[in-house]
Chain A
Amino acid sequence: GENVEQHPSTLSVQEGDSAVIKCTYSDSASNYFPWYKQELGKRPQLIIDIRSNVGEKKDQRIAVTLNKTAKHFSLHITETQPEDSAVYFCAAILTGGGNKLTFGTGTQLKVEL
């Protein structure tokens, strides 16, 4: 089955700085990679996703890059704000294979004033 590793587990940045979270996956057939933001006690919220036929996708301050050869993908948040503080999870899915999401272990991001 799929295995997703995520680093770092915690990340502190100053407001306005950039934050980068990295994930690697094991199943080369995986073809959809969403990123979720989860605040304490709340549901995971999809913030951006990328498919395997694309190398990069950007949505305002958030971007995701995918390297299929190396089987890793990264989340980039620029101009961080205190409200970006949350736990971020990457995930990988093999569409057509039951569409089961395999989550990374999560990154606790803290944006300090």
Chain B
Amino acid sequence: GAVVSQHPSRVICKSGTSVKIECRSLDFQATTMFWYRQFPKQSLMLMATSNEGSKATYEQGVEKDKFLINHASLTLSTLTVTSAHPEDSSFYICSARKEASGDTQYFGPGTRLTVL
């Protein structure tokens, strides 16, 4: 199998606080994970590529100091939304690439972030 989990599934926080989201590959190792953001009725937009043991690669327009990514092990990547504001409210989804399956990415269940 290829199972990816995310935690928490939902989080509500006050403006100005930081929120950490975890993405785990449960039954495989993933040197590369990806973080996406999805606004209602829109497509998934890639935010950054998380590389185990090295710095993340951010897409154009994504603030690396606001969205901190850490990929400390082959099964865990974390996304921290710092100083969250209401406009950061969104559905955050991670995916992990299973090298044994070629290019297939397996997605986590997503985290619904609401910033008040």
| Chain A contacts to B: CB under 8 angstroms | 32, 34, 36, 41-46, 49, 89, 93, 95, 98-106
Within 8 A of A (CB), among B10-51: 32, 34, 42-46, 49
Q: Which residues of chain B are within 8 angstroms of A98 by Cβ–Cβ distance?
A: 49, 57
Q: How many residue pairs, one in A and one in B, have C-beta atoms under 8 Å apart?
A: 51
Asked if B93 and A43 make an inter-chain contact with CB atoms under 8 angstroms apart, the answer reads yes
Residues in B neighbouring A46, C-beta threshold 8 A: 104-106
6 further A-B pairs in the complex, CB-CB below 8 A; given A36-B107, A46-B106, A100-B34: A41-B112, A43-B110, A98-B49, A99-B103, A104-B43, A106-B43
Do A101 and B43 touch (CB < 8 A)? no
B43, B97, B109 — which one has the most chain A CB atoms within 10 A of its CB? B43
How far does the alpha carbon of A43 sit from the alpha carbon of B107 in the complex, in Å? 6
Q: Which of A34, A49, A89 contacts B43 (CB 8 A)?
A: A89
Q: Is the CB of B44 within 8 A of A44?
A: yes
| Chain B contacts for A41, CB-based, 8 A | 91, 110, 112
Instruction: Tell whether, in the assembled complex, residue A93 and residue B110 are in contact, meaning their CB atoms are under 8 Å apart.
Output: no
Q: Is the CB of B32 within 8 A of A42?
A: no
A34 vs B102: C-alpha distance when bound (angstroms): 12
